[in-house]
């Protein structure tokens, strides 16, 4: 990902500051340069790795905020100072409303009880789940790592998906596309088709909190799948295919106001593979499925 960046940007990335030396300022300054070359989600993931050993814990939300705040000041080709307008400004978290929803909307056990069907064994069901989420064999972009991915017809992935971490939650329109800086890539916004699913990911709080928020959001858009990251977060897949962009954005802004990570708004953002496996070997367990909801809307 970084070998195609300008040398001065590579130099910036190679020398992140230590805690107390301006980590947040560095995140903003580097993100300002990276917006001309990478997608928002790619920038967040790249910077998260660079500051992992800076001497203090850097929450993902701090990185997301720095990347978003840098966007209006992002460098663009042919200009030294003009701002660009690309992504919506996301609302701040409404803690009072979030806490009220968490108190009254259930927990992980309730989400599992609502699942139709429920996965009750320890076997991998990735292939069957992906077949239902993406019928008709479209092109899918999947990967073991953010930097190790491929785009192939669904059948060409047969038998491999349960060992992968990531997938783009919409079909791809072509095998390759152009990145913002003109590079050919199998994972670009340019070759991502219209949204099929919008994924809401919650990091802050406990997994029961995340389940309550997903149950609540399921009253506004069809919740089709809920995947545990294998770490600390729960990801909800909401079916939005065919909906107006304004309606989808309104729904996601509401989710962000409850603490959802804005990074998944990027249509080509890689998300956790349902029932896949993290690089540390932990399975990304599926706690909720509702295929009947998906099929009723098709």
Tens digit of pLDDT for each residue in 72-95? 777 654 444 333 334 456 888 999
CB atoms near residue 30 (< 10 Å) = 22
Q: DSSP string covering 131-181, please?
A: HHHSTT--EEEEEEETTEEEEEEGGGGTTTGGG--EE-SS-BSSS-EE-TT
Whose structure tokens read 């972009």?
Answer: 141
Q: Calculate the alpha carbon distances from 234 to 111, 172, 230, 269 in Å.
A: 11, 24, 9, 16
Structure tokens that stand for 215 in this block: 């149950």
Average pLDDT over residues 248-254: 92
| Token couple for 160 | 């491999």
Of 111-120, 206-215, 243-252, minimum mean pLDDT range: 111-120
Nearest to 158 by CA among 185, 140, 133: 140
Task: Report the pLDDT averaged over residues 109-122.
Answer: 84
110 pLDDT higher than 70: yes
Q: How far apart are CA 42 and CA 237, in angstroms?
A: 20
Q: Are 13 and 52 a contacting pair, CB within 8 Å?
A: no
Residue 4: CB atoms within 10 A of its CB come to 14
Query: For a pLDDT cut of 70, what percent of the chain falls above it?
Result: 92
Per-residue pLDDT at 76: 55
Give the Å distances, CA to CA, from 113 to 146, 171, 275: 33, 29, 18
Q: What is the pLDDT of residues 156-202, one digit of tens each?
A: 999 999 999 999 999 999 999 888 777 889 998 889 999 999 999 98
Tokens of 234: 């729960």
Average pLDDT over residues 34-60: 88
Asked whether the beta carbons of 266 and 152 are under 8 A apart, the reply is no
Q: Report, as an integer, the average pLDDT of 253-282.
A: 92
Q: Minimal CA–CA distance to 243: which of 198, 292, 189, 296?
A: 198
Predicted local confidence at residue 1, as pLDDT? 58
**Mean pLDDT of the region 62-75:** 81
**Per-residue confidence (pLDDT) for residue 163, from 0 to 100:** 94
| Domains delineated in the chain | 7-73 (no CATH), 96-297 (3.90.920)
| Residue 143 φ then ψ, to 5° | -160, 160
pLDDT score at 214 = 96
Asked whether the CA dihedral 251, 256, 260, 261 is positive or negative, the reply is positive
């Amino acid at each position: 990902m970084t070998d195609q960046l300008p040398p001065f940007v590579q130099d910036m990335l190679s020398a992140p500051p230590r805690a107390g030396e301006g980590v947040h300022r560095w995140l903003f300054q580097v993100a300002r340069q990276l917006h001309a070359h990478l997608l928002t989600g790619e920038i967040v993931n790249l910077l998260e790795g660079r500051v992992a050993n800076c001497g203090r814990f850097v929450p993902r939300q701090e990185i997301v905020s720095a990347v978003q705040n840098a966007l209006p000041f992002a460098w663009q080709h042919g200009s030294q100072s003009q701002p660009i307008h690309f992504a919506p400004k996301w609302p701040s978290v409404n803690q009072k409303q979030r806490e009220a929803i968490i108190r009254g909307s259930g927990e992980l056990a309730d989400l599992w009880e609502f699942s139709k069907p429920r996965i009750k064994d320890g076997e991998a069901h990735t292939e069957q789940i992906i077949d239902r989420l993406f019928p008709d064999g479209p092109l899918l972009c999947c990967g073991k790592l953010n930097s190790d991915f491929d785009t192939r017809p669904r059948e060409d992935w047969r038998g491999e998906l349960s060992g992968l971490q990531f997938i783009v939650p919409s079909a791809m329109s072509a095998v390759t596309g152009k990145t913002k800086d003109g590079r050919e890539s199998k994972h670009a916004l340019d070759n991502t088709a219209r949204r099929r699913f919008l994924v809401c990911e919650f990091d802050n709080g406990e997994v029961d909190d995340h389940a309550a928020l997903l149950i609540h959001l399921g009253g506004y858009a069809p919740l089709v799948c809920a995947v545990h990251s294998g770490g600390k977060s729960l990801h909800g897949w909401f079916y939005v295919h065919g909906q107006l962009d304004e309606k989808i954005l309104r729904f996601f802004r509401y989710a962000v106001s409850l603490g959802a990570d804005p990074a998944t708004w990027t249509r080509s953002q890689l998300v956790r593979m349902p029932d896949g496996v993290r690089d540390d070997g932990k399975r990304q367990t599926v706690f909720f499925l509702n295929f009947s909801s998906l099929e009723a809307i098709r």
